[in-house]
Chains A and B, each alone.
Chain A
Amino acid sequence: GQQLNQSPQSMFIQEGEDVSMNCTSSSIFNTWLWYKQDPGEGPVLLIALYKAGELTSNGRLTAQFGITRKDSFLNISASIPSDVGIYFCAGTLTTGTASKLTFGTGTRLQVTL
């Protein structure tokens, strides 16, 4: 099935550093969502984006819905050890089932002290 392209695939950073990851697609998306998944658990919603150009923050997290509607980024400021996990972008396409989420390939974040 189609998946969004996420980069980087993985990253090692030091505690306190800022993190940036992005998601791109060849298709136009109606909505973008960012989830975090810990090992053996389901994805937990971090931020939801509804409109092109929208910039939304949730604590140390900031995400933007790209103007072209084909991309989104997620920034994490001042990373802490509990930020470790896999981050997924997901979205709904303008065609097809409005409710079906298409997921990215994931960015694995590891934080060193």
Chain B
Amino acid sequence: DTGVSQDPRHKITKRGQNVTFRCDPISEHNRLYWYRQTLGQGPEFLTYFQNEAQLEKSRLLSDRFSAERPKGSFSTLEIQRTEQGDSAMYLCASSSSGQGLKTQYFGPGTRLLVL
């Protein structure tokens, strides 16, 4: 299967702990996105990369959040000093950057619960 993969699928942590999530995009997709989805809502954009460059960050991405894509392939999203409000589904998507619609394909998500 060459779809977007995310790890872990579920994470339970205590408030104040740091967590890190990983996303592996569809191979040869040079754009990678992170979204956050809370219960009953649609996904909300957090940040995106083209290759290794982080080109945009949402205001939702507080300074406790950091995302990296060091080699332009997989990406990590780290949340430091987690808060209960960080509990959500974190979704990763990837797309190409060629001409035409840059359709985004999503991974299965990482569900985070902060106790």
Chain A residues at the B interface, C-beta cutoff of 8 Å = 1, 3-4, 31, 33, 35, 40-45, 48, 50, 88, 90, 97-106
Are A3 and B109 touching (Cβ within 8 A)? no
CA distance A42 to B91 in the complex (A): 7
Are B42 and A105 touching (Cβ within 8 A)? yes
Are A104 and B42 touching (Cβ within 8 A)? yes
Are A1 and B109 touching (Cβ within 8 A)? no
CA distance A11 to B63 in the complex (A): 40
In the complex, per-residue mask of B22-62: 1 if CB is within 8 Å of any chain A CB, else 0: 00000000010101000011111100100000011011100
Residues of B within 8 A of A3 (CB): 41-42, 44
- The answer to whether B106 has its CB under 8 Å from any CB of chain A is yes
Contact of A99 (CB < 8 Å), options: B40, B44, B58, B95: B95
Are A99 and B106 touching (Cβ within 8 A)? no
CA distance A97 to B35 in the complex (A): 15
Are B42 and A50 touching (Cβ within 8 A)? no
Residues of B within 8 A of A101 (CB): 33, 35, 43, 45, 93, 104
Are A99 and B41 touching (Cβ within 8 A)? no
Distance of B9 from chain A, by nearest CB (Å)? 8
Closest residue of chain A to B6 (Cβ to Cβ) is A42
Known contacts A42-B107, A97-B56, A99-B95; is A1 also within 8 Å of B100 by CB?
no
Distance of A9 from chain B, by nearest CB (Å)? 10
Are B111 and A1 touching (Cβ within 8 A)? no
CA distance A41 to B60 in the complex (A): 22
Are A31 and B91 touching (Cβ within 8 A)? no
Distance of A95 from chain B, by nearest CB (Å)? 13
Residues of A within 8 A of B108 (CB): 41-42
Are A43 and B106 touching (Cβ within 8 A)? yes
